[in-house]
Chain A
């Protein structure tokens, strides 16, 4: 018994030592990056080369690219934008290739921050690392640029709560592995059910939640297969014929909900609380079949990422807030502001495309 206890104590100590060593190493990498920035203050780079890496391929990222390219053009720095289409391994390969190319700084949206720590450490060791859209709090990143997905999810939940006074609700989302998806879903649930704000809360996706007059019948993922995403919505409509509201927490999920409801004659009968700015969702808001949508500012993610990394190469660290998070807040788009939002987005995309073609 004593031997077992001694072994367990030894193991606990070893784990603690390893964790401390790990923490120290993360801290060292952050300090090393700050030292490099201080060095840049003495010898600023005439023309920097920075990179922006997304977590997948989507229209959302095309808007972010437009922001990154516009900032590059404005600030006179070279910008490389990469969209990994093949998931985690593809993103790792792209980050390694960027390091080999000798980029001065990288802004990345990590797909699986917990299990990607080695490659993020590599970027921090050889270049300057910041994160965007989805954070990696345990990685040696200098700053996170983006919104708090829990808060954005809450905004979507509150939008749904205001427009739908109870009944059965279904959640559709591309995948749940990444940090932003988990937080967004939890924020939606807490906002809809009128719970207190607690980002650490976690409701199991397979669990049915009945609270405050709502029944959340489940969460369905599709791994980015749109035919499957469409089938999910149809099948859930079959299983739950009294569905009152659905939310699509990735851009195409909301778009497909609009499509399916139009095809099945349920448009306006089952409400939709959207996320992101799919063209059909915007049209649905105008037509009154979508309550509204929570939009992020991907253009801002791209623009601010390039601006911050470029500032680092001039020795300027002032853009980084004390808590290491540069907030770019989400907005709710409803019928009253949808036209102004759409016109602004189109103008930004056009400017970004022009910048990209000139680059």
Chain B
């Protein structure tokens, strides 16, 4: 909780400003929409976070979102496959992509940046080729399958706020990943690998397996997220679906407290980071700023937030050092 304090303060400040200066921020409809978008982007950001903790980076998240997202209606609608076959197949394909990245990075010793950059191009290219650049959608069918992302649940005492179904997988993932880092030896080993891979390896930690596993989790979550996104939107064009989503995922993870140097995990912070980005995007419209300013506002606010967080951390570290020196 202490590690997330900076990002939570930034999140609360943006929410307060938007609620004061914007219209309809606290309506049930808006909060439902924000919860849905936060859940979708958080799933991608959790995957990005696991790779960042391991000291890596994955630039292919957006393209995996695209490939998995496009493949889902393509197989269901165009090829008439059953949802029971399509969902496991798409998830297995996404995990295989992660395994492929992990093997190239740990066995062939290729740089993660380059491997995943090539993946970014490769998977989008495959999606475009496979579908002949045609938009893929559900054409008004498969309402039952789409309810995985579209279902909403009434919540007592919260008026017209309705809890989106996507929160369920998000909570499960947060708990699982949180327990993995805090309660398992494998989680500790992954943190150690991220902090200093050589030291961890010489200490007997199976760093190659752990790093590969991190990439598998990241691609699997990107593929799962891609499926949820397409269930939510209904149709997508392979040339632009998921473009730049890796940057939103990485930004949310870093904002949430995962250092790009590796070895720092903060699962709750990642979700708050993703929520901050989504609230900022919504604030642009609700406050009535021009949509042309969107990137400038997001970039500016995040920069101020990150700088303030870093300064507070340094101040706290200095104070802690002074206190310990005085005690000795």
Chain A residues in contact with chain B, CB under 8 A? 56-59, 62, 83, 85, 205-206, 220-221, 224-228, 230-232, 234-241, 252, 255-256, 259, 263-264, 279-280, 283
In the complex, which of the residues B29, B128, B282 contacts A264, with contact meaning CB atoms closer than 8 Å?
B29
A255 touches B235 (CB 8 A): yes
B285 surroundings in chain A (CB, below 8 A) = 220, 232, 235-236, 238-239
- C-beta contact mask, B11-26 vs A, less than 8 Å → 1, else 0? 0000000000011110
Find the B residue at minimum CB distance from A264.
B29
Partner of A235, one of B234, B282, B292: B282
Out of A226, A228, A238, A241, name the residue touching B33 (CB < 8 Å): A238
Assess the B239–A57 pair: CB atoms within 8 A. yes
Which partner residue on chain B sits nearest A205 by CB separation?
B290
Contact of A234 with B33 in the complex, beta carbons under 8 Å: yes
A-B contact list, 28 entries, CB within 8 Å: A56-B239, A57-B238, A57-B239, A58-B237, A62-B133, A83-B133, A85-B128, A220-B285, A221-B292, A224-B243, A226-B233, A227-B229, A227-B232, A228-B281, A230-B232, A231-B33, A231-B281, A234-B29, A235-B33, A238-B24, A238-B27, A238-B30, A239-B285, A255-B137, A259-B233, A264-B29, A280-B137, A280-B235
Please give the distance in Å from A202's CB to the nearest CB on chain B.
16
Question: Which 7 pairs across A and B sit closest by C-beta, in order of nearness?
Answer: A57-B239, A85-B239, A235-B285, A238-B24, A238-B30, A224-B240, A206-B290
How many angstroms from the CA of A85 to the CA of B124 in the assembled complex? 11
Indicate if the CB atoms of A226 and B236 lie closer than 8 Å. Answer: yes
Beyond the given pairs A226-B233, A279-B137, 6 more chain A to chain B contacts, judged by CB atoms under 8 angstroms and listed by A's residue number, are A62-B132, A226-B237, A232-B291, A234-B30, A235-B30, A279-B139
Please determine whether B233 and A230 come into contact, CB atoms closer than 8 angstroms. yes
Query: Is B150's CB within 8 Å of the partner chain A?
Result: yes
Q: How far is the CB of B279 from chain A (nearest CB, A)?
A: 11
- Closest beta carbon of chain A to B196's beta carbon, Å: 38
Q: Mark interface residues in B259-303 (1 if CB within 8 Å of A CB, else 0).
A: 000000000000000000000011001101011100000000000
Alpha-carbon gap, A241 to B24, bound state (A): 8
Q: How far is the CB of B32 from chain A (nearest CB, A)?
A: 9
Please tell me if the beta carbons of A235 and B290 are within 8 angstroms of each other in the complex: no
Of B27, B133, B281, B286, the contact of A57 (CB 8 Å cutoff): B133
In the assembled complex, B37 has its CB within 8 A of some CB on chain A: yes
In the bound complex, residues from chain B placing their C-beta under 8 Å from that of A85 are 128, 133, 239-240
Chain B interfacial positions (CB closer than 8 Å to A): 22-25, 27, 29-30, 33, 37, 40, 128, 132-135, 137, 139-140, 150, 229, 232-241, 243-244, 281-282, 285-286, 288, 290-292
What is the distance, in angstroms, from A66's C-beta to the closest C-beta of chain B?
Answer: 12
Contacts of A280 in B (CB 8 A): 137, 139-140, 234-235
Pick from A59, A221, A241, A255: contact of B291, CB below 8 A.
A221
CA distance A128 to B281 in the complex (A): 45
Provide the residues of chain B in CB contact with A206, threshold 8 Å: 290, 292
A230–B229 Cα distance when bound, in Å, is 11
- A225/B243 contact (C-beta < 8 A), A231-B281, A239-B286, A280-B140 known: yes
State in angstroms the CA–CA spacing of A241 and B238 once bound together: 33
Is A58 in contact with B281, judged by CB distance below 8 angstroms?
no
A224 in complex: contacting residue of B22, B24, B237, CB < 8 Å? B237
Q: Which residues of B contact A59 (CB under 8 A)?
A: 134-135, 237
- B133 close to A252 (CB less than 8 A): no
CB distance from A108 to the nearest CB of B (A): 17
| A252 partner, pick from B23, B37, B237, B288, beta carbons under 8 A | B237
Question: Which of A85, A221, A255 gathers the greatest number of chain B CB atoms within 10 Å?
Answer: A85
B235 close to A252 (CB less than 8 A)? yes
Q: A263 vs B151: C-alpha distance in the bound complex, in angstroms?
A: 10
Which residues of chain B are near A228, meaning CB under 8 Å? Answer: 281
